[in-house]
Structure 1
Amino acid sequence: MNLPPAVTAYLTAHNARDVDSAIASYASDAVVIDDGRTYHGVDEIRAWLAGAASEYTYTTDLISAARLDQEHYDVVQHLVGDFPGGVIDLHYRFTLRGAAIARLVIEP
């Protein structure tokens, strides 16, 4: 599946733990929901990305990607690492606004 450039750029940067490139994919007022916590705006999202990049070591494999409509995409990634449980499949549910990510919800 061809994903929008913002989603592809974010996933590539996130997997490389490149916080600056990952944050460039977000709208200035974006929201991220991960692990029961909500992060508002690029400053909070940057801090979340930096923490996630340093907290655990893991690898990711893209399992699937689906376009739900013009603005919504669901990407499933398989993670294996030293986090609790060690293995998980996570949905990355993207909402786009124009060429930027406006919302990302990460959940099993």
Structure 2
Amino acid sequence: MNLPKVVSELVRTQNNFDSVAYANCFSETAVVYDEGKTHNGRKEIEHWIADANERYKATMQPVSFEEKGTEIILKAEASGKFDGSPIVLSYHLEIADELIQSLKITG
């Protein structure tokens, strides 16, 4: 699967539980929507993913990838310490200047 560089980096850093490198895939003003909460800016994103890594130890394996206009949808199997694991999640991404501007994770 030929993913954009920043998406490949997002997967790699998630699977290494590297919250700093994960957050660096996002712009300074990026927004993440996950589990009914909004996380604004790289610092909040770093804290969110560090907490999620601690709680869930989730890794992701890309399943499919498509581009719809300015949106990229990555479907990935997430496995970790949570009910229902593994589960396929959809990562709705908007990318500009090789950084993620927004990410919405849905089931």
TM-score (normalised: structure 1): 0.89
Give the percent of matched residue pairs that are identical in Structure 1 and Structure 2. 29
User: Superposition RMSD on alpha carbons, in Å?
Assistant: 1.4
Unmatched tracts of structure 1, length 5 or more: none
Residue 91 of structure 1 aligns with which residue?
90
Give the Cα separation in 2 of the matches to 1:38 and 1:28.
15
Which segments of 5 or more consecutive residues in structure 2 lack a partner in the other structure?
none
Moved more, 54-63 or 92-101: 54-63
2:92 and 2:44 mapped to 1: Cα distance?
19
Corresponding residue SS for 2:102: strand
Q: For the residues of structure 2 that align with 1:57 and 1:28, how far apart are their CA atoms?
A: 25
The 1-side partners of 2:96 and 2:54 are apart by 29
Number of matched pairs: 107
Please report the TM-score for the alignment, with normalisation by the length of structure 2: 0.90
- Which 4+ residue blocks in structure 1 deviate beyond 3 angstroms? none
Counterparts of 1:1-108 in structure 2, within 5 Å, are 1-69=1-69, 71-108=70-107
Q: Matches of 1:57 and 1:20 in 2, distance apart?
A: 15
